[in-house]
């Protein structure tokens, strides 16, 4: 399926080669507590993809160990998603709840071995006793209970003799372990709650760390692939299986980076909030990053799989630009779907010299698409065009209909405006026009020149449709929650008009509406009386113009330490650092959090800062680039020092190199350990700021792009970015963007 070999496939191949595994068995183990999102699609693609590449199989397992949040409707949504994406889980869906009796027996075994005990501390005490990153924890006084007492208490926990939180079962490992997850992790808790499958049979529930590895073992999983936040849980995973001597063949855990996408939120908890608060119409709201949302909006499974393939599998978390997903759906539909005409904001045009009606034969696909098919478009005296395809006093460079400028009706005739009818307020009500009989598309013998063709529909045959235009749900690149919602994410157009051919086709179909974008007949609300179309995506990336810097800036890695899903409060020292970073040093809270919570990173940061006092720039590089390196290697294995980082930052501050080049230098430094100044000199990366060196390049680019120069001078100032981009490209990113910008602006005046 995938042709590139990633690190997971490399491991799998090695294990097959060495004979460690005879069969590859993976699993996709969602908790049925919400609808799956595109992050899950990535996990599905990896787990099912790897299994199928190596002729193994992948289990679909519901990780249903938390009775209060789970529900059958989520199980169904998960099955739908996997199926829609084209994967097959075989005969059974597995449920962790089916293993509850076995898991209980394993827990009893651990108790008998003296490796687990019933603890009776309160939640707060447990947290307090756990210690901190720098301080060892201390063991509960209940850890000394005898095996008999533990067995008795655990059985009574199961029988329901205690209240929630009164006791818990813990593994007896090491309260001073450097990996805090190993400080006597929780194995079972009491929850008097109704479970959607086990009903009221159980009132103790296994924790993730206990249930997951054993479920993997029970199912004969060979490779247990999960996301990076479980990295520290791997030690418990191995401890449980090893302690119980579950050896023949046993599963191993591997981690990959979670998918994050900008302009959206991606955790089921946050999605649930949006659904419950009514900010969206449901889990399948086409603006949500849920699989059901994409499906309803009109995305194809192919486009999502293709996206998952493109983003690849990495070990460092990063945020992917949503534009990349939009590219994938556009790319998929471009060659697949028929093109028809729809007018979203109709303006009436009466063609005064036309009588009767005719049908124009028009192909569904352009020449370069290897698909056939055509339809008849009715044409008559009264038509509608898009309101903004006519302007009375057009700006320079406006190519559509004006009182002076004729336009072609797509697939039809050229028309000329004769008269503009307005109401008493000056609003345009109608255009009176004339058509040119010899100008019919395909057999045009007229000599009339037009600059563009516009979509239109014939008034008598056009059908009224509702169009739902979706935009990004959040206005911020990294939204926190409801306060960042984009108020314009849904626009409903009630009175759009569409050509009849797009109606007679079966619903649940996709079209390109010419010049508008890709649309999908809503699979749920579309009816003959009221056809509804969802906008899937526009023809071009409209946000690339609106915001200049939407490129996927890697998100700082937040090494949050988690206990049962809660972020551990900061230690006193961490809190002091955090306050200093966000206060005096002016870092944003995410970067400050990353640094403050990680002793190695904060020491490294302070070291670099003592050489070069550029707190924000250094912090960004330490929280991103250095943190990433530290995921792969120990601090004393790093090839570069804090001093070298500050040297690098100083070159950026002094404008010797651009921050883009700085990334390149960093990669080199991380590999070779060479000094940044040396790298910059050897590779000739010094930033070019001298106008006399940049101006000839600008001249050359202007000479190569006369059309764009003309367009810019005619008022299309958005092309500034194009010119600056070209200069940067020509110089391999070395030209100083600020200087280029002002030179280009001056020259174009
Ligand atoms: P969320 O935080 O969104 O609720 P989760 O990790 O709790 O997600 P699960 O249902 O437990 O969701 O996850 C099922 C599988 O999908 C897990 O293996 C998990 O690692 C993976 N997964 C979840 N979110 C992502 C993501 N954003 N990118 C890649 N894989 C993901
Ligand atoms: Mg979860």
Per-residue model confidence as pLDDT tens digits over 704-734: 988 888 888 888 877 888 888 888 888 887 8
Task: Encode 127-140: b = buried (16+ Cβ within 10 Å), e = exposed.
Answer: bebbbbeeeebebb
3-state class percentages of the chain: helix first, strand second, coil last, to nearest 5:
40, 20, 40
pLDDT over threshold 80, residue 395: yes
Q: Quickly state the pLDDT bin for 543 (edges 50, 70, 90).
A: low
pLDDT score, position 2: 45
pTM of the model: 0.74
**The pLDDT of residue 517:** 97
Work out the average pLDDT over 20-34.
Answer: 97
- Predicted confidence at residue 59, as pLDDT, reads 98
Distance between CA atoms of 17 and 285, rounded to whole angstroms? 46
Q: Report the alpha-carbon distance of residue 301 to residue 291 in Å, rounded.
A: 9
Q: Between helices 38-53 and 301-311, what is the axis angle to 10°?
A: 80
Nearest atom in ligand 1 to 258's CA: 28
Look at residue 564 in the predicted model and tell me its pLDDT: 34
Q: How far is the CA of 30 from the centre of ligand 2 (A)?
A: 8
pLDDT reported for residue 559 = 36
Structure confidence by residue, pLDDT tens digits, 142-187: 999 999 999 999 999 999 999 999 999 999 999 999 999 999 999 9
The pLDDT of residue 617 is 86
Alpha carbons 231 and 557: distance in angstroms, whole number:
14
- Provide the angle, in degrees to the nearest 10, between the axes of the packed helices 642-653 and 659-672: 160
Residue 1 has pLDDT above 50, yes or no: no
Evaluate whether 196 touches 72 at the Cβ level (below 8 Å): yes
Instruction: Say whether pLDDT at 276 is over 60.
Output: yes
Q: Is the CB of 39 under 6 A from ligand 1?
A: yes
- pLDDT grade for 109, boundaries at 50, 70 and 90: very high
Structure tokens at 124: 């707060």
259 lines ligand 1 (CB under 6 A): yes
Both structure tokens of 87: 């994967």
Distance between the two ends of the chain, CA-based, in angstroms? 53
Q: What is the pLDDT of residue 550?
A: 38
| Nearest atom of ligand 1 to the alpha carbon of 43 | 30
Ligand 1 contact, 675 CB (< 6 A): no
Share of the chain above pLDDT 70, in %: 95
Q: How far from the centroid of its chain's Cα atoms is residue 331's Cα? A: 18
Name the residue at shortest CA distance from atom 15 of ligand 1: 30
Three-class SS of residue 50?
A: helix
Indicate the SS3 state at residue 349: strand
Cα separations in angstroms, 426 against 350, 400, 420, 667: 19, 21, 10, 62
Q: Of 8-17, 442-451, 659-668, 690-699, where does the model show the most confidence?
A: 8-17
- Ligand 1: does its nearest atom lie under 6 Å from the Cβ of 257? no
Looking at residue 542, what is its pLDDT?
66
pLDDT at position 567: 56
Residues 554-589 have pLDDT tens digits of: 434 333 333 333 456 778 888 888 888 988 888 887
CA distance 575 to 589: 12
Token pair in block for residue 661: 């080049």
For residues 458 and 250, is the Cβ–Cβ distance under 8 A?
no
pLDDT of 103 > 60? The answer is yes
Q: Return the pLDDT at 507.
A: 66
Is the minimum distance from the CB of 229 to ligand 1 under 6 angstroms? no
Ligand nearest to the CA of 35: 1
Whether the CB-CB separation of 463 and 503 falls below 8 Å is answered with yes
Distance between Cα 106 and ligand 2 center (Å): 24
CA of 558 to the centre of ligand 2 (A): 17
Longest dimension (CA), the chain: 102
- The CA distance from 398 to 516, in Å, is 18
For residue 214 the two structure tokens come to 């054993």
Residue 85 · residue 45 · CB < 8 Å: yes
Lowest mean pLDDT among 222-231, 357-366, 656-665: 656-665
Task: Write out pLDDT tens, residues 484-525.
Answer: 999 999 999 999 999 999 986 566 799 999 999 999 999 999
267 lines ligand 1 (CB under 6 A): yes
Asked if the model's pLDDT at residue 651 lies above 70, the reply is: yes
Span 733-749, pLDDT tens digits: 788 888 888 898 888 87
Q: Is the CB of 30 under 6 A from ligand 1?
A: yes
The residue whose C-alpha atom lies closest to atom 23 belonging to ligand 1 is: 40
In this prediction, residues 458-475 reach a mean pLDDT of: 96
Residue 202 makes CB contacts below 8 A (sequence gap 6+) with: 100, 158, 195
For the chain, how many residues are written? Answer: 749
Mean pLDDT of 94-118: 98
CA nearest to 82, candidates 35, 121, 125, 115: 35
Ligand nearest to C-alpha 32: 1
Strand partners, 530: none
The model's pLDDT over 283-294, given as tens digits with 9 standing for 90+, comes to: 999 999 999 999
Token pair for 371: 């698909």
Find out whether the beta carbon of 607 lies less than 6 Å from any atom of ligand 1: no
What value does the mean pLDDT take over residues 79-86?
98
- Which residues lie closer than 8 Å to 664 by C-beta, 6 or more apart? 685, 733
Q: What value does the mean pLDDT take over residues 189-217?
A: 97
What are the structure tokens assigned to 351, written together?
A: 């063609």
Map out the domains of the chain with their CATH numbers.
346-454 (2.40.240.10), 463-546 (2.40.240.10), 572-683 (no CATH), 691-748 (1.10.10.410)
| Nearest ligand to the CA atom of 289 | 1
Identify the residue whose C-alpha is closest to ligand 1 atom 3: 267
More confident residue, 599 or 67: 67
Nearest atom of ligand 1 to the alpha carbon of 29: 14
Buried b (16+ CB within 10 A) or exposed e, 339-367: bbbbbbebbbbbbeebeeeeebebebbee
Q: Does 135 score more than 50 pLDDT?
A: yes
Average pLDDT over residues 243-263: 94
Q: What integer best gives the mean pLDDT of the chain?
A: 91
- pLDDT band at residue 309, thresholds of 50, 70 and 90? very high
For residues 643 and 647, give the distance between their C-alpha atoms in angstroms, rounded to a whole number. Answer: 6
pLDDT at position 136 is 93
> How sure is the predictor about 551, in pLDDT bands with cuts at 50, 70 and 90?
very low
Asked if residues 647 and 675 have their Cβ atoms less than 8 Å apart, the reply is yes
Asked whether the beta carbons of 195 and 67 are under 8 A apart, the reply is yes
* Cβ–ligand 1 contact at 43 (below 6 Å): yes
Indicate if the alpha-carbon torsion angle 229, 230, 233, 238 is positive or negative: negative
pLDDT in tens, 427-462: 999 999 999 999 999 999 999 999 999 999 999 999
30 CA to centre of ligand 1 in angstroms? 7
- Is the distance from CB of 604 to CB of 635 less than 8 angstroms? yes
Do residues 341 and 377 lie in contact, with contact meaning Cβ atoms separated by under 8 Å? yes
Q: Please report how the helices 147-159 and 100-112 are oriented relative to each other, as an axis angle in degrees rounded to 10.
A: 160
CA distance readout (Å), 438 to 362, 687, 695 = 17, 59, 50
Strand partners, 421: 430
Instruction: Of 148, 228, 84, 276, give the one whose Cα is nearest residue 627.
Output: 228
Residue 546 confidence (pLDDT) above 90: no
CB 268 less than 6 A from any atom of ligand 1: yes
pLDDT above 90 for 115: yes
Residue nearest to atom 27 of ligand 1 (CA): 39
Residue 4 in this model has a pLDDT that exceeds 80 = no
CA of 266 to the centre of ligand 1 (A): 9
**Residue-level pLDDT at 269:** 94
Separation between Cα atoms, residue 172 and residue 242, nearest integer Å: 14
Helices of type H across 54-140: 72-84, 100-112, 123-129
Ligand 1 neighbourhood includes 650 CB (under 6 angstroms): no
Instruction: Find the 80 Cα to ligand 2 centroid distance in Å.
Output: 19
Q: Whose CA is nearest to atom 8 of ligand 1?
A: 267
Q: Whose CA is nearest to atom 1 of ligand 1?
A: 267
Q: In the predicted model, is pLDDT for residue 390 greater than 50? A: yes
Encode pLDDT of 596-633 as tens digits: 888 889 999 998 988 888 898 899 889 888 888 887 77
Active site residue ranges: 31, 258, 268
């Amino acid at each position: 399926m995938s042709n590139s070999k990633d690190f997971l496939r490399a491991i799998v191949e090695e294990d097959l080669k060495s004979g460690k595994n005879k069969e590859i068995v993976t699993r996709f183990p969602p908790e049925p507590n919400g609808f799956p999102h595109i992050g899950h699609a990535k996990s599905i693609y990896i787990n099912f993809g790897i299994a199928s590449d190596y002729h193994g199989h992948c289990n679909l397992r519901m990780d249903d160990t938390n009775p209060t949040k789970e529900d059958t409707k989520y199980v169904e949504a998960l099955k739908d998603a996997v199926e829609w994406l084209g994967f097959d889980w075989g005969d059974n869906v597995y449920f962790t709840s089916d293993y509850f009796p076995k898991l209980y027996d394993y827990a009893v075994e651990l108790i008998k071995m003296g490796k687990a005990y019933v603890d009776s501390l309160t939640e707060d005490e447990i947290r307090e006793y756990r210690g901190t990153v720098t301080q060892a924890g201390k063991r509960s006084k209940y850890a000394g209970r005898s095996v008999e007492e533990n067995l008795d208490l655990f059985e009574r926990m199961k029988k329901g003799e205690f209240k929630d939180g009164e006791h818990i079962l813990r593994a007896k490992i090491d309260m001073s372990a450097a990996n805090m997850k190993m400080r006597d992790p929780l194995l079972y808790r009491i929850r008097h709650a109704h479970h959607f499958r086990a009903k009221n049979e159980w009132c103790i529930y296994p924790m993730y760390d206990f249930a997951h590895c054993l479920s993997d073992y029970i199912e004969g999983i060979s490779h247990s692939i999960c996301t990076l936040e479980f990295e520290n849980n791997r030690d418990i995973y191995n401890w449980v299986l090893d302690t119980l001597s579950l050896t023949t063949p046993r599963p191993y855990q591997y981690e990959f980076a979670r998918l994050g996408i900008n302009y959206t939120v991606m955790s089921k908890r946050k999605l649930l909030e949006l659904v419950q608060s009514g900010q969206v119409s449901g889990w399948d709201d086409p603006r949500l990053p849920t699989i059901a949302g994409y499906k309803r909006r009109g995305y194809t499974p192919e486009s999502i799989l293709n996206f998952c393939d493109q983003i690849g599998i990495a070990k460092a978390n990063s945020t992917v630009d949503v534009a990349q997903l939009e590219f994938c759906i556009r790319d998929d539909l471009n060659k697949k779907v028929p093109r028809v005409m729809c007018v979203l904001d109709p303006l009436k045009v009466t063609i005064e010299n036309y009588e009767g009606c005719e049908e124009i034969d028009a192909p569904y696909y352009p020449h370069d698409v290897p698909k056939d098919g055509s339809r008849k478009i009715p044409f008559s005296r009264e038509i509608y065009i898009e309101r903004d395809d006519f302007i009375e006093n057009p700006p320079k460079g406006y190519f559509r209909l004006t009182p002076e400028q004729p336009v072609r009706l797509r697939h039809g005739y050229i028309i000329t405006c004769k008269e503009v009818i307005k109401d008493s307020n000056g609003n345009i009500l109608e255009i009176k026009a004339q058509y040119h009989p010899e100008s019919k598309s395909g057999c045009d013998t007229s000599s009339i020149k037009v600059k563009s063709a516009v979509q239109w529909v014939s008034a008598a045959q056009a059908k009224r449709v509702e169009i739902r235009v979706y935009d990004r749900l959040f206005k911020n690149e990294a939204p926190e929650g409801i306060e960042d919602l984009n108020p314009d994410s849904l626009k409903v157009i009630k009175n759009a008009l569409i050509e009849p051919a797009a109606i007679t086709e079966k619903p649940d179909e996709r079209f390109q509406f010419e010049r508008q974008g890709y649309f999908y007949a809503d699979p749920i609300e579309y009816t003959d009386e009221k056809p509804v179309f969802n906008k899937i995506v526009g023809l071009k990336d409209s946000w690339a113009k609106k915001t200049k810097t939407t490129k996927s800036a890697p998100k700082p890695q937040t090494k949050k330490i988690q206990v049962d899903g809660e972020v551990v409060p900061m230690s006193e020292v961490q809190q002091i650092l955090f306050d200093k970073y966000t206060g005096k040093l002016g870092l944003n809270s995410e970067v400050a959090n990353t640094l403050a919570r990680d002793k190695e990173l904060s020491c490294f940061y302070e070291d670099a800062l003592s050489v070069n006092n550029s707190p924000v720039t250094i912090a960004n590089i330490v929280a991103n680039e250095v943190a990433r390196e530290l995921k792969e290697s120990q601090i004393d294995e790093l090839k570069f020092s804090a001093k070298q980082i500050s040297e690098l930052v100083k070159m950026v501050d002094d404008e010797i190199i651009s921050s883009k080049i700085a990334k390149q230098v960093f990669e080199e430094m991380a590999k070779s350990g060479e000094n940044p100044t040396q790298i910059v000199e050897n590779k000739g990366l010094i930033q070019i700021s001298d106008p006399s060196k940049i101006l000839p390049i600008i001249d050359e680019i202007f000479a190569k792009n006369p059309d764009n120069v003309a367009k810019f001078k005619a008022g299309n100032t958005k092309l500034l970015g194009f010119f600056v981009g070209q200069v940067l490209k020509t110089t391999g990113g070395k030209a100083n963007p600020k200087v280029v910008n002002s030179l280009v602006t001056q020259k174009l005046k």
